[in-house]
Amino acid sequence: MGKNEESLKCLNTSLKMNPEYAKALVKRAEINSNLKYYDEAVRDLVKAQEIDSTGNNVVYKLKEAQRQVKAQKKDKNYYTMLGVPKDASEDTIKKAYKKKARELHPDRNNSTPESAEKATKDMVEINEAKNILLDKNKRAAFDRGATAEEIDQGGPGGMGGGMGGGMGGMDPSQM
């Protein structure tokens, strides 16, 4: 177990005893940021800010963690997550997903609560990759540079964002 994981274990114990310990929340957020778990870092920093918004540089650290979350979402490469080339067939993607799922499944990686949590997050990531790459429209949007969030919401490069259907609610006979 590395130093970050050991520190997380100690901080988790401290926070079980005192969930309002802002300094421990900030420290855990810093470690999660180091491990690139930016969503968890944001969650801890929001809670720390609610408890004590003036100490521990919380506001700055929260803004930085939120920026990292956005950057991380743009940096996702579903092809490399599954270890497939950009022109991979549907069968190749399915086989790569199954291989990764066996490797990363939480039931196989649960020696500590932290490793089980990481395995769960990894499974969520590869499931997202599989779902995007196996859907032709979503894959095309991803290839144009859209993030998963944009694809789901139909934003830039995504699949929606138009004016709605047809004539925008107008009856053509009234023209």
> pLDDT higher for 65 or 168?
65
Among 74, 95, 128, the domain boundary falls at: 74
Number of domains comprising the chain: 2
| Residue 74 confidence (pLDDT) | 66
For tokens 């177990």, the residue is 1
Per the model's pLDDT, the better-predicted residue between 15 and 141 turns out to be: 15
Residues 90 and 33 reside in one and the same domain: no
Round to whole Å and give the CA distance between 149 and 139. 13
pLDDT for 154 equals 63
**What would the mean pLDDT of 40-64 be, rounded to a whole number?**
89
Question: What tokens were used for 19?
Answer: 């969930």
Residues 89 and 100 in one domain: yes
Q: Which residue has the higher pLDDT, 49 or 116?
A: 49
Domain extent at residue 103: 77-153
Average pLDDT (146-157) is 67
How high is the pLDDT of residue 66?
A: 86
* 65 in the same domain as 98: no
**Whether pLDDT at 173 is above 60:** no
The reported pLDDT for the residue numbered 32 is 87
Residue 159 within any structural domain of the chain = no
User: How many CB atoms are closer than 10 A to CB 40?
Assistant: 18
Cut 0.85: pTM above it:
no
